[in-house]
Amino acid sequence: MNRDMEIKIGSAVYDRINTSRMSPAERQVAINAMHDAEHLVDAFAWVFKKVEQLGALLSRTFLFLKPSVKH
C-alpha cells in the first residue's frame, strides 16, 4: 500500500476515534491501541521483507532454489 493511502486510512480512523462519544481515558486507550496495531503491522512487514531478502540470497547461493512463491 502506498504511503498516501496509509495516511488517508489512518487519518479516517483517528478522526472516527476523535469524533465518537467516549471519555478522554477511553479515547486515549483507543489511540494507544491504534499505535500498537500500526507498530505490529510494521513489524510483520519488516519480517516479511527480511524473509524475502533471505530467500533471494539463498537462491543466489544455492542454484537449485527458485525465487518463486508458487506452490
- Letter for the amino acid at 53? Q
Cell of 37: 496495531
Does position 1 have pLDDT exceeding 50, yes or no?
A: no
Does position 66 have pLDDT exceeding 60, yes or no?
A: no
pTM above 0.75, yes or no: no
Each residue's pLDDT tens digit, 11-57: 788 888 888 899 999 999 988 898 898 889 999 999 999 998 888 77
pLDDT band at 70 (very low <50, low <70, confident <90, very high): low
What whole-number distance in Å separates Cα of residue 9 and Cα of residue 61? 40
Query: Between residues 70 and 2, which one has the greater pLDDT?
Result: 70
pLDDT of residue 40: 92
Q: Domain-by-domain residue ranges, the chain?
A: 3-61
The single residue listed with the C-alpha cell 467516549 is 22
